[in-house]
């Protein structure tokens, strides 16, 4: 017997406190139910991402609308203030300036 044959025979012999049965581990993938559950979870996650994006867009829309309303109110207020400023400047000009009116020498009243 050669050394190789002796080594293989020794390794085949049962030893004390050793398992004599070898179990083959079969690699099995996920079952069809697990695949359906995973696909459903992925769709739910994608749906939630879509909803957050739509909500964010609509929130920006509301904010823009609010700012446009505020802008139009401020433009109206500016016009009112410009008219008021022009009126006040006109009154000052009338008080300061001479329009060409003279004081009467005498005044007579009807009785």
pLDDT over threshold 70, residue 19: no
11-36 burial, b at 16+ Cβ within 10 Å, e below that, comes to eeeeeeeeeeeeeeeeeeeeeeeeee
Say whether pTM exceeds 0.85.
no
List, for residues 46-100, the tens digit of each pLDDT value. Answer: 999 999 998 988 888 899 999 999 999 999 999 999 999 988 888 777 777 666 6
């Amino acid at each position: 017997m050669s050394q190789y044959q002796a080594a293989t025979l020794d390794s085949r012999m049962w030893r004390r406190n050793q398992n004599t049965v070898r179990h083959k581990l079969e690699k099995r993938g996920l079952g069809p139910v697990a695949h359906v559950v995973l696909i459903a979870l992925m769709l739910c996650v994608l749906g939630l991402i879509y909803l957050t994006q739509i909500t964010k867009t609509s929130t920006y829309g509301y904010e823009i609308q609010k700012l446009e309303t505020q802008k139009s109110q401020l433009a109206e207020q500016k016009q009112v203030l410009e008219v008021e400023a022009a009126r006040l400047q006109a009154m000052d000009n009338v008080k300061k300036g001479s329009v060409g009116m003279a004081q009467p020498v005498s005044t007579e009243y009807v009785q």
